[in-house]
Amino acid sequence: MNLEDVKKVLTDLAIRKKIFHSEAELQFELGVEFKKNLGNVEIWFEYPASLLKNHSELLGNDKNRSPMIDLVIIENGDFYPIEIKYAKGKLEYKDENENEYILSDNGKDKSFFYVYDIRRLELFASKYSRFKKGYAIIISNNEDWYRSQAPKKRDKFTFDFYLINNSDNELKGEIWYQLQTDEKKHVILKDKYKTEWAEYSSLEPKSKNSEFKYLICEIKQKNTLV
């Protein structure tokens, strides 16, 4: 499995599921689509990190964070862990089958926890020999997440980094963030990751937050991460 396979899964999923009620629904539908696309693979939801050697290091200093990995694809004995985030912007929508979706803004802290997921996957890569590649995926319909430029004005919720849609923008090094609870958090990434968003879906009629985009960061096996 490679990055192009992951992109194809998202492209195929968008044909039948343009919008999701929740992160849990997105996680499930991605697992289903991976199985359809890749065929003879194992799909694990909420894979327990406790099964891994040195699993406590996946949690870093925050013991309240989940010790589960959202999705694990096992192909020919190789592990491909996937962390998933769904950053919602406020939207009300009915699809062609009259299914109603009511999305509320689920907070700006998702951005930091997305980067936290990348670091968890880096740790996974450094501690687990069966790790092949990992993927951190975020889907959002909130343009504040994928704007082309960082906002000029910073408020107390603004972070040291931006998930802006710019091929020159990178997530790297030490990243600090102030949560909405005013608690300060930081994470140190060992690699560099481009933040290039891609189109996921566009709902009709067009309105604020009716366009969904996705960002994928690929985490590779590196022996120097420890």
Res 187: pLDDT: 83
Res 191: pLDDT: 93
Residues 6 or more apart from 141 whose CB is under 8 A from it? 19, 87, 88, 89, 91, 103, 209, 210, 211, 212, 213
Question: Phi, psi (5° rounding) for residue 103?
Answer: -100, 140
Nearest alpha-carbon partner for 38 in 80, 67, 66? 80
Which sequence spans correspond to the domains of the chain? Answer: 3-220
Q: Are 117 and 137 in contact (CB under 8 A)?
A: no
Specify the pTM.
0.86
CA distance 12 to 200: 10
Neighbours of 149 (CB within 10 A): 10
Token pair, residue 22, equals: 């929740």
Q: Are 83 and 138 in contact (CB under 8 A)?
A: no
Res 158: pLDDT: 43
As a residue count, the chain comes to 226
Whether a cis peptide bond, with omega within 30° of 0, leads into 205 is yes
Res 113: pLDDT: 84
Res 152: pLDDT: 53
Res 224: pLDDT: 43
Decide the pairing of beta strands 100-103 and 68-75.
unpaired
For the chain, list residues with pLDDT below 50: 64, 154-161, 224-226
Res 149: pLDDT: 58
3-19 pLDDT per residue, tens: 999 999 999 999 999 99
Token pair, residue 20, equals: 């999701």
